[in-house]
Structure 1
Amino acid sequence: MAFLRSFGIGASVARTTLAWVRNDQNAPSLRRLNFAGREVTLAGGPALAAGATVGAAFGARSARLKAAAVTAGAVSGAVGFYDDIVGNRPEQKAAKGFAGHLGALREGRVTSGLLKIAGVGAAGLVASALVGSDRPSRFGRGVDVLLGAGVIAGTANLLNLLDLRPGRAIKAGAILGAPLAVGRNASMTAGTLGASAALLPADLDEEIMLGDAGANALGALLGLAFTARAGTGARVAALAALASLTAASEKVSFTKVIQDTPWLRYVDELGRRPNKA
């Protein structure tokens, strides 16, 4: 019952926020052209961030986990939304990837992307510290907090890297979230998945775009749900996998890999609006 309540709250808040943002007087400034040249709205980002955060916080089993969910989801969504808006400016677009943002910093420019990276990292650290650790030594607990922060921020970044086609980030989030929706802290994951499910049809139909706000919040909350139930070894393994995928993204196009792998291409295109040849 708690699982269904969290799922429903996440979905309801996401839909309500989407309608509110779409009807706001500043809504026209959120219009963007997607990969296919169709006009979509970035309203999906704050809608997903709000729904997933509220749903996850409602489903969390303790006050510390609730605070961790609010921190991870709200901060990641907020700095992501800032990058969605400011990062569209010509002087910001020149900096690509982590190396590009660091290069701009060496030139004395602080990019919106760098602020996003710092914000997501800080949110991950605070959220991981709120989750805590059962290890007896102070050093061990500190290591667990750092590992958890890496997992939370790394998952946020991974979902952001995948958000290049309609529905892709939400589908990836559903795959990552499925095993977390069973057992301890399942209700926290349910709120996140509920918000995602509510927005998936509009995402697939190319009405909305998640942007950094939605993808970062979704990934951060899933990373938090994993951290809240994982020990040191599992956190190390997850962080290693996330670091490998992030490093690979600098050399290999995930979109090309998906297109060249039949079963991945099938899942990726499932439910998506067909493109004109």
Structure 2
Amino acid sequence: MYAAHSRSGGRIVAFVGAVGATRAGYVALRRMKPGGAGRWERRNYSGRTLDLCAGPAVAVGTALGALAPRGLPARARGGVSLAVAAAGACGVYDDMAGAGDPRRGFRAHLSALRQGEITSGAVKLFGIGAAGLAAGALLKERPVDKVLAGVVIAGTAHFINLVDVRPGRALTAALALAAPGLLKRNGAFAAAPLGAAAAVVADDLDERTMIGDAGAHALGAAVGAAIVASNGRVGLVAHAAAVVAATVRGEQVSALAKDLAVPARQARPA
């Protein structure tokens, strides 16, 4: 356990580091747009053409923010950053490779897998699940706790993505879920997603950009990892049950309400 002033300083370092890295990455991606502007453009629910530049920036900013506080154990910082980076990478892959795929939800992708087709959604599902378990193994000591931690991290990542149906929804959900963690031990881990989300929330709400699967999954994994880092067995069980129930319900609602964001050049007129 480290002193109170160190804990406070760790939160500030994580928050400021995540804000700075996210904003710098976002501005750089909007300027360069590797592979051409069309690769980064999507049409949202209202027919406006936005870019996906906020997503990778949020993922990188959150991961770096989690690594920043020196007062936290290196093993724990590595576990949180691993979960965020892997979730963000899987999200980027789905954003790019899965653009235009109308299938949504676990059932659709698992059904395709049973028929021999590996969809980008299936890669994301199993990739984030594996990353959650790996991060849980670094954050917890006992086998049961490691598994529960993996469920919380992966489940929170998928849940935040499911609520990303309108501008600002995923970001405000991440902000609301992460904020209480600032008051708990290891609160610096909660400060990282808060900083990353705060860096782009205005642009997202103004429909200049969207965080896509990359940003939503990365933020969700970070929030889940922050929950894991500050809870024991009882808390892990409660959060695992809550996130599984919320994810199942969210998938049902999302299947009905979520408008597909496809490449702008393929989108139908609003």
Q: TM-score surpassing 0.5?
A: yes
Aligned partner of 2:40 among 30, 33, 44: 30
One-letter amino acid matched to 1:38? R
C-alpha change, 1:94 and 1:38, in structure 2 (3 Å) is closer
C-alpha change, 1:250 and 1:77, in structure 2 (3 Å) is closer
Match of 1:212 in 2: 213
Q: Do the aligned partners of 2:61 and 2:196 also contact (CA within 8 Å) in 1? A: yes
Q: How does 1:195-210 map to 2 (within 5 A)?
A: 195-210=196-211
Q: How does 1:41-190 map to 2 (within 5 A)?
A: 41-59=51-69, 61-89=72-100, 93-133=101-141, 141-190=142-191
How far residue 114 of structure 1 moved from its aligned partner, in angstroms, is: 0.3
Q: Do the aligned partners of 2:14 and 2:192 also contact (CA within 8 Å) in 1? A: yes
For the residue of structure 1 that corresponds to 2:252, the secondary structure is coil
Computed over aligned residues only, the root mean square deviation of the Cα atoms, in angstroms, reads 1.6
For the residue of structure 2 that corresponds to 1:178, the secondary structure is helix
Q: Quick check: 57-66 or 100-109, which moved more?
A: 57-66
Runs of 4+ in 1 over 3 A off after TM superposition: 250-256
For the residue of structure 1 that corresponds to 2:166, the secondary structure is coil
Q: How many residues align?
A: 246
**5+ long unaligned stretches in structure 2:** 1-8, 258-270
How far residue 253 of structure 1 moved from its aligned partner, in angstroms, is: 5.0
Match of 1:136 in 2: none
Please give the TM-score of this superposition, normalised by the length of structure 1.
0.85
Distance in 1 (CA, whole Å) between partners of 2:22 and 2:138 is 25
Distance in 2 (CA, whole Å) between partners of 1:20 and 1:254 is 34
How far residue 169 of structure 1 moved from its aligned partner, in angstroms, is: 0.8
Q: Do the aligned partners of 1:162 and 1:169 also contact (CA within 8 Å) in 2? A: yes
One-letter amino acid matched to 2:42? R
Distance in 1 (CA, whole Å) between partners of 2:10 and 2:102 is 46
Q: Do the aligned partners of 1:21 and 1:27 also contact (CA within 8 Å) in 2? A: no
How far residue 233 of structure 1 moved from its aligned partner, in angstroms, is: 1.2
C-alpha change, 1:250 and 1:13, in structure 2 (3 Å) is closer
Match of 1:246 in 2: 247
Match of 2:22 in 1: 14
Distance in 2 (CA, whole Å) between partners of 1:171 and 1:27 is 30
One-letter amino acid matched to 2:93? Y
Distance in 1 (CA, whole Å) between partners of 2:255 and 2:99 is 22
How far residue 228 of structure 1 moved from its aligned partner, in angstroms, is: 0.9
Q: Do the aligned partners of 1:162 and 1:254 also contact (CA within 8 Å) in 2? A: no
C-alpha change, 1:65 and 1:162, in structure 2 (3 Å) is same
Please give the TM-score of this superposition, normalised by the length of structure 2.
0.87
Distance in 2 (CA, whole Å) between partners of 1:253 and 1:198 is 26
Distance in 2 (CA, whole Å) between partners of 1:9 and 1:147 is 29
**5+ long unaligned stretches in structure 1:** 134-140, 257-277
One-letter amino acid matched to 2:225? L
Q: Do the aligned partners of 2:84 and 2:222 also contact (CA within 8 Å) in 1? A: yes
Match of 1:267 in 2: none
Distance in 2 (CA, whole Å) between partners of 1:187 and 1:178 is 11
How far residue 2 of structure 1 moved from its aligned partner, in angstroms, is: 2.7
Q: Deviations over 1:32-84 (max 9, x none)?
A: 00111111111110010011110012136011012112211111000111000
How far residue 254 of structure 1 moved from its aligned partner, in angstroms, is: 9.3
Distance in 2 (CA, whole Å) between partners of 1:47 and 1:27 is 17
